[in-house]
Structure 1
Amino acid sequence: MKPSSSQLALSVGRRVVMACVAGLLLVAGFWTSWDTAQHVLLSKGREHGTLSVTECGDATCSGTYDPEGPPPPRAGAPIERSVAVKKGREYEVVLKPGTDELVRAGSSGVLLAWVPLGGALLLAAPVVGGGMRLTRTAWGTALAGAVLLAGAFFAL
């Protein structure tokens, strides 16, 4: 039996709305990740160094920042508090230009910066699979998000 024009329009409309929702999730995940990832990925010409974490508050941890090169070490340099930052440890960091805020550098910093995108990929997978009826694409999206999150977990 051939679907009526209203059923066809409803099906197409559902797919368009779900594509917009999935796209919005992925753009939001990318945008949130890029805020940190740009400093880690495009770190050439930025100030690099080592942070020795001495204290942690509710939102940030701080410690002594020892930059590479001639500048002297500075105390009280902040880094965002996360499960990846622990008191008493040293981390390779990059200074965000125009601020005194530090972000993790190296391969672990890259993976940690992209965690929001991994979460967005996992959230978009049911939308793609259920709303758009693209099951293979949904499984690929979920797998990509899970691999990214697992990589960040093991990089800790």
Structure 2
Amino acid sequence: MPSAVSSSGAVAALRLAATGAVAVLIVISGVWGSWGTAQYVMLTKGREHGTVEVTRCGPELCSGPFVPASVGAKTRDSVDIRKSVAVQQGQTYSVIVKPDSDEVVRSGPAGMLYAWLPLGGALLLASVVVAGGLRLARLAWVLAGAGGALLTATFLAL
């Protein structure tokens, strides 16, 4: 009979390890998805800062002229910014130019929150995995609270 008890303990430990690995992978994926944009917003030294007035929008991108606001930045006739619910034609946005391209990302608090939006969703998803698979209710509430706060702050900032 001791082998049955130890094998069920091993299965439980394996389940906890696998579920924990899935939760960690979800959070890492959220960071990875956010960092592609967040790096430009957070690490601004040496980058071109300015504004873009959105003059036209397509299905995925909006574009408009770039007016520099930092030393070394150059005027561009047209730069591209990803179309989202927060980008509207006729509006002017503070932006940072991605190096070696004509693509820009929003800067400032709204840009930073928007860049970390994938992490907020990942935290919410990980909270469900932690609550259901690991049975760690407090940690799940912390993850859900952090993810929900990030999503709410982004919604209010944009």
Quickly name the TM-score band, shorter chain normalised.
over 0.9
Distance 1:59 1:128, change over 3 A: same
Q: State the TM-score, normalizing by the size of structure 2.
A: 0.94
Q: Which amino acid aligns with 1:120?
A: A
Cα distance, 1:71–1:150 mapped onto 2, change above 3 Å: closer
Q: Which residues of structure 2 form unaligned runs of 5+?
A: none
The structural deviation recorded for 1:131 is: 0.3
- The alpha-carbon distance between structure 1 residues 134 and 71, as it changes in their structure 2 partners (threshold 3 A), is closer
Cα contact 2:97–2:104 (8 A) shared by 1 = yes
- Give matches, 1:15-30, under 5 Å: 15-30=16-31
TM-score by length of structure 1 reads: 0.95
Q: What is residue 129 of structure 2 aligned with on the other side? A: 127
* Contact 2:79–2:102 (8 Å) recurs in 1: yes
The aligned counterpart of 1:43 is: 44
Whichever residue aligns with residue 16 of structure 2, its letter is R
User: CA–CA distance in 2 between the matches of 1:10 and 1:71?
Assistant: 59
User: 1:34 matched to which residue of 2?
Assistant: 35
Q: Distance in 2 between matches of 1:41 and 1:132?
A: 34
Question: After superposition, where does 1:1-156 map in structure 2 within 5 Å?
Answer: 4-68=5-69, 69=71, 73-156=75-158
Once residues 57 and 139 of structure 1 are traced to their aligned partners in structure 2, the CA distance between those partners, rounded to angstroms, is 40
Query: For each residue in 1:16-65, what CA deviation from the matched residue of structure 2 results, as whole angstroms up to 9, or x when unmatched?
Result: 11111111111110011010000000011100000000111111100111
Counterpart residue identity of residue 43, structure 1: T
% identical aligned pairs: 50
CA deviation digits over 1:105-156, x for unaligned, max 9?
0000000000000000000001011101111000100000000000000001
SS of equivalent to 1:141:
helix
Q: Give the whole-Å Cα distance in 1 for the aligned partners of 2:123 and 2:29.
A: 10
Letter in 2 for 1:147: A
Q: Could you say what the CA RMSD is over the residues aligned between the two structures, in angstroms?
A: 1.5
Aligned-partner SS, 2:55: strand
Letter in 2 for 1:143: G
Q: Helix, strand or coil: the match of 1:4?
A: helix
| Structure 1 portions without partners, runs of 5+ | none
